[in-house]
Structure 1
Amino acid sequence: MRKIITTSLVLLTVGGLAMGCQGVGKSDYHHEASFEAKLIEEFEINNESWDIEFKRSDSSNITIACDGKRQDNKSDPVTIDQEGNKIVVTQKDQGGAIAGFTFGKKGKIYISIPDQEVDTITLNNDAGDIKMKNVSALNIVFNNHSGSETIEGLSADKGEFTSKDGELKLKDSSLNELTVTSGSGDSYITGVTSPLMNIASTAGEVSVKEIEEAKRLRVETGSGDIAVSYKTPPATLKLNAASDSSDISIGLDGFKETQSTEQSVAGTIGDAAHALELVSRSGTIAVK
Structure 2
Amino acid sequence: MRKILTTSLVLLTVGGFVMGCQSVGKSTSYNHESSYEANRIEEIKINNESWDIEFKRSDSPNITIACEGKRQNNKSDPVTIDQEGRKIVVTQKDQGGAMAGFTFGKKGTIYISIPDQGVDTITLNNDADDIKMKDVSALNIAFTNHSGYETIEGLSADKGEFTSKDGELKLKNSSLNELTVTSGSGGSYLNGVTSPEMNITSTAGEVTVKEIDEGKRLCVETESGDITVSYITPPTSLNLAASSNSSDISIGLNGFKESQRTENAVEGTIGDAAQTLELVSRSGIIVVK
Identify the TM-score tier after normalising by the shorter chain.
Answer: over 0.9
Which amino acid in 2 is paired with 1:244?
N
Gap change, CA 1:15 and 1:188, over 3 Å in 2: farther
CA RMSD of aligned residues (A): 1.6
**Residues 166-218 of structure 1 deviation map (CA, whole Å, 9 limit, x = unaligned):** 00000000000000000000000000000000000000000000000000000
Within 1, Cα distance between the matches of 2:285 and 2:272? 27
Instruction: Select which of 18, 28, 32 maps to 1:16.
Output: 18
1:222 corresponds in structure 2 to 223
Counterpart residue number, 2:65 = 64
The answer for the alignment partner of 2:42 in structure 1 is: 41
After TM superposition, the score normalised by the length of structure 1 is 0.95
Q: Are residues 101 and 282 of structure 1, via their aligned partners in 2, closer, same or farther at CA, if it must alter by over 3 Å?
A: same
2:144, 2:162 within 8 Å by CA — same for their partners in 1?
Answer: yes
TM-score (norm 2): 0.94
Task: Tell me the amino acid that sits aligned with residue 118 of structure 1.
Answer: V
Q: Is the 8 A contact 1:47 1:128 kept in 2?
A: no
Secondary structure at 2:18 match in 1 = helix
The answer for the alignment partner of 2:238 in structure 1 is: 237
Question: Match for residue 87 of structure 2?
Answer: 86
Inter-partner Cα distance in structure 2 for 1:73 and 1:101: 18
Q: Distance in 2 between matches of 1:152 and 1:81?
A: 28
Give the Å deviation of 1:97: 1.0
- Structure 1 residues 243 and 12: CA distance shift in structure 2, 3 A: farther
Q: 1:218 to 1:69 in 2, by over 3 A?
A: same
- Count of residues in Structure 1 that have an aligned counterpart in Structure 2: 281
Distance 1:86 1:9 in 2: 53
Q: Distance in 2 between matches of 1:42 and 1:174?
A: 20
* Distance in 2, Cα, partners of 1:69 & 1:38: 32
CA contact (8 A) 1:132 1:151 kept: yes
Q: Offset at 1:10?
A: 10
Give 1 or 2 for the bigger CA radius of gyration: 2
Matched, 1:103 2:124: no
- In the TM superposition, 1:62-211 aligns within 5 A as 62-211=63-212
Q: Structure 1: any 5+ residue segments left out of the alignment?
A: none
Distance 1:13 1:212 in 2: 63
**1:115 counterpart letter in structure 2:** D
Q: Secondary structure at the match of 2:100?
A: helix
What fraction of aligned residue pairs are identical, expressed as a percent?
76
C-alpha change, 1:35 and 1:111, in structure 2 (3 Å) is same
| Shift, 1:20, TM fit | 1.4
What secondary structure sits across from 1:97 in the alignment? helix
Using the TM superposition, give the Cα deviation of residue 117 of structure 1 relative to its aligned residue in structure 2, in angstroms: 2.0
